[in-house]
Structure 1
Amino acid sequence: MTTLIAGDDVYAIAEELFTAMVDGESGTVSQWFGDVPAWQVPVVAWVDLHGGWAGRASVTTERATADDLARALLQMGADEPVLEEDLHDAFGEVANVVGGNVKALLPTQGTLGLPQVADHDPGLPGSVLVTEVVLDWRGRPLVLRVRGAA
């Protein structure tokens, strides 16, 4: 069951998300080439999927990138400070959209948990990595992962 979600599908979800919600134009994300730098100040957002297929969709990046993503989603100025609440709302919504689209790919529809945002990935005990996609957005990496119950 875990092979239902392909990296190409997650990449397509990300392209649509950034086109429709973040940048308003296509072609703003691409595949990241090379190693992902070690996170200095990471931010992780995730949603859990429940039902016939259980798992988690998550997005990880640097805090500065998450702040810029929040500014874009909330239509804030480039120098406007991002409050913690705004970061959680915006970055959590990115994970929520990814998770909702992953759920739509499944043969049976379940439910999504509420988006969570933290400075580390708490893991999902008993799960396996289904797919990982590393995006390049404005020259900075974002890692999208889908984990499924083993």
Structure 2
Amino acid sequence: MSSTALFGAEQITAIAEEVFAAMVDGETGALNPWLDGPVTLTNPLHAWVELQVELPSRVLLTTERETADDLARALLAMEPDEPVSEDDLVDAFGEVANVVGGNLKALLPVHGKLALPQVSADAPSAEGATPIDDVALSWRGRLLTVSVWTL
């Protein structure tokens, strides 16, 4: 079975909600569907992990840099106004992408491997990639997208 048959918006959303409840917020309800319409990110940050499976895929999380900083603070149990180092930001945002990707990979009958997570202000190359699905979510009222691509 291909990843396109398993990774629909419903599965992506459910896994993201579970990951945020378990890792980030400690409770359900902080991650919800985005209902505010299209938004252009002014300072985007991307975190992704590639699934080395029968049909190679990429799980990509995208949000504003400020939101990623807050995500790192929440994950690392930092104070709301505490500065976030670049290393902490990369580690935290990359780990969230890694866990979401790992949980999606677990849906596949043959699990394969995950590559190391990447974090960058530049989106990964879309050359040769095909979008499977893209979900817009609201984390604490701010946009976070989770998309899955075949490579």
Structure 1 contact 56–146 (Cα < 8 Å) conserved: yes
8 A Cα contact 1:3 1:130, kept in partner = no
More deviation, 27-36/77-86: 27-36
* Structure 1 Cα separation of the partners of residues 9 and 125 of structure 2: 20
Q: Which residue of 2 aligns with 1:125?
A: 127
Matched, 1:144 2:146: yes
1:70-109 pair list within 5 angstroms: 70-109=72-111
Matches of 2:52 and 2:6, distance apart in 1: 15
SS at match of 1:79: coil
The structure 2 residue matched to 1:38, chosen from 37, 40, 43, is 40
Separation (CA, whole Å) in 2 of partners of 1:6 and 1:32: 16
Q: With structure 2 as the length reference, what TM-score do the two structures score?
A: 0.95
**Pairwise CA RMSD of aligned residues?**
1.0
Equivalent position amino acid for 1:141 in 2:
L
Question: Which segment is superposed worse, 27-36 or 100-109?
Answer: 27-36
Name the structure 2 match of 1:15. Answer: 17
Q: Aligned pairs, how many?
A: 149
**Percent identity (aligned):** 52
- Alpha-carbon separation, structure 1, partners of 2:59 and 2:12: 10
- Equivalents in 2 of 1:122, 1:15: separation in Å? 24
User: TM-score normalized by structure 1?
Assistant: 0.95
| Alpha-carbon shift at residue 3 of structure 1 (Å) | 2.8
Q: Which moved more, 1:120-129 or 1:80-89?
A: 120-129
Q: Structure 2: give runs of 5+ residues left out of the alignment.
A: none
SS of the equivalent of 1:132 reads strand
8 A contact 1:53–1:108 mirrored in 2: no
CA distance in 1, matches of 2:13, 2:57: 18
Superposition deviation, residue 148 in structure 1: 1.1
